[in-house]
Amino acid sequence: MQILIFNVGSSSIKYSLFQNKKLIISNKYEKLKSKSDYIKSFNKIKESVKKKKVDLIIHRVVHGGEIKKPSRINSKIKNQIKKFSQFAPLHNPKQLLIINLAEKINPKQYAVFDTQFFSKLPKVAKIYPIPKKIAKKYSLQKYGFHGLSHKSVSENLKGKTITCHLGAGISITAIKNKISIDTTMGLTPNEGIIMATRSGNIDSGLVIFLEKKGFNTNKILNTQSGLKAISGFSDFRKIIKNLRKPNNKLAYEILCYQITKQIGAYTAALNGLNNLVFTGPIGENVSKLRKDICSHLEFLKIKLDKNKNLQNKEIISSRTSKVKVYVRKTNEEKIILNEVLKII
> Which residues carry out catalysis?
114
What strands lie across the sheet with 179-183, from one edge to the other?
179-183, 170-176, 160-166, 275-279, 324-327
Report the amino acid identity of residue 285: N
**Residue 279 contacts residue 161 (beta carbons within 8 Å):** no
CB count in 10 Å sphere of residue 180: 23
What are the strands, taking DSSP E only, across the chain? 2-8, 13-19, 22-29, 56-61, 71-72, 109-113, 160-166, 170-176, 179-183, 275-279, 324-327
The span from the CA of 191 to the CA of 140, in Å, is 13
**Residue 175 contacts residue 158 (beta carbons within 8 Å):** no
